[in-house]
Amino acid sequence: MGHDLLQRISIAEAAPRLEGVVRRTPLAPFPSSDPRIELRLKLECLQETGAFKARGAWNQLALLSPAERAAGVVTVSSGNHGKALAWAAQRAGVRATIVMPADAYPNKIAACREFGAEVLLGATRAEAERLCAERVAAGATLVHPYDAERTLQGAGTVGLEIAQDWPEVEVVVVCCGGGGLLSGCALAIRQTLGRRVLIVGAEPEGAPSMKRSLEEGRAVTLERITTKVQGLCPPYAGKLNTEICGLAVDAVVTLSDDEIFAAQRALVHRGGWTVEPAGAAAAAVVFTGRLPSLALHGRSQSDPLRVAAVVSGGNPDPAQLAAIRAETR
């Protein structure tokens, strides 16, 4: 059963649908601070709409039937997925409704509207889910941010590009909120490079939904979320994502908010990129020395461990980014 699932959702099948629509982002060398590690960053912060989410959104829109296109699409999102779906819907000529929490970054709310989507604000997560369910009941197609085969299939093309551009890679680190990017990348790596690559997820300590889900063997809903890292704090890990990660991911590392924000500062200052906190979580695993120790056993500057980390998004709160850029380097 497990092997069937790892082969059934083909990431390679999504690639032609995305070609010419989303960007093939660079895999850029970056100092790891550990001479035993050769680090390259997959810069999805340079993607259309500023995040990897454009991949899953476009894959979903490209596969809609004529009737579904006519009825429109709807989703619940705190930002990047909503922005990506609004962009994809505008490009495809499909009506989109984005239901967002009232405390979402104002720039992300504005971005959805700028792409022509209708934005509904829910005071609570439950209210947002209710508003979305009403639109689905009225005929709109739900495009889930992460717990959907077509969403994670598109997201997985990030991992497919890593495998194609650097087939010698030995470790791939991917941030995890609901698990769409992590599960999609894990599928892509297993389908192309097999089991020899170590796949590591990165989550905030204050929202460890995937780590908890894998420990319990089922998708869990968190009773409490304490992280301030928007984009990595959905209340639950996806059911399909949990199943795939249980079969294909080797470890999930949890990080403090301070460690994630410190990694963001490093990418902004030393890389010169616009990176949101969530986008820095995978790099933070490397910067904090949290890669599984066995992977580094016997490695040296002359024989470094080849590590790719995904920088998943570049849509920070403008005030937060301005504060980082104003810091003394």
> From the centroid of its chain, how far is CA 217?
22
Whole-Å CA distances, 159 to 3, 8, 164, 244: 19, 17, 9, 14
On the question of pLDDT at 125 being above 90, the answer is no
Region 213-233 average pLDDT: 94
Q: Which of 184, 181, 183 is nearest to 214 (CA)?
A: 183
> pLDDT by residue (tens digit) across 68-92?
999 999 999 978 999 999 999 999 9
Is residue 200 within 8 Å of 173, Cβ to Cβ? yes
Is residue 169 within 8 Å of 162, Cβ to Cβ? yes
Contacts of 156 (CB under 8 A, 6+ apart): 9, 11, 14, 183, 184, 185, 186, 187, 188
Is residue 138 within 8 Å of 95, Cβ to Cβ? no
Q: In what order do the strands lie in the sheet with 141-142?
A: 118-122, 96-101, 73-76, 141-142
In this prediction, residue 260 carries a pLDDT of: 98
On the question of pLDDT at 1 being above 70, the answer is no
Name residue 54's amino acid: A
Structure tokens at 261: 């924000």
Instruction: Map out the domains of the chain with their CATH numbers.
Output: 2-50+150-326 (3.40.50.1100), 54-145 (3.40.50.1100)
On the question of pLDDT at 329 being above 70, the answer is no
Cα–Cα distance measured from residue 220 to residue 7, given in angstroms and rounded to the nearest whole number: 25
Region 190-212 average pLDDT: 97
Q: What is the helix (H) or strand (E) element at residue 233, kind and residue range? A: none
> pLDDT by residue (tens digit) across 247-302?
999 999 999 999 999 999 999 999 999 999 999 999 999 999 999 999 999 999 99
On the question of pLDDT at 190 being above 90, the answer is yes
% of the chain at pLDDT higher than 90: 89
On the question of pLDDT at 151 being above 70, the answer is yes
Length of the chain: 329
Backbone angle region of 320, left / alpha / beta, with phi > 0 → left and psi within -120 to 50 → alpha: alpha
Cα–Cα distance measured from residue 139 to residue 80, given in angstroms and rounded to the nearest whole number: 24
Q: Which residue do the tokens 């999504």 mark? A: 14
> pLDDT by residue (tens digit) across 15-64?
999 999 999 999 999 999 899 999 999 999 999 999 999 999 999 999 99
Q: Which of 105, 102, 90, 26 is nearest to 54 (CA)?
A: 90
In this prediction, residue 105 carries a pLDDT of: 79
| Direct distance between the N- and C-terminal alpha carbons of the chain, in angstroms, rounded to an integer | 52
Is beta strand 118-122 parallel, antiparallel or unpaired with respect to 96-101?
parallel
Q: Exposed, middle or buried, 167 (CB in 10 Å: 0-12/13-18/19+)? A: exposed
> pLDDT by residue (tens digit) across 95-121?
999 999 888 878 889 999 999 999 999
Is residue 151 within 8 Å of 144, Cβ to Cβ? yes
Is beta strand 305-311 parallel, antiparallel or unpaired with respect to 251-255?
unpaired
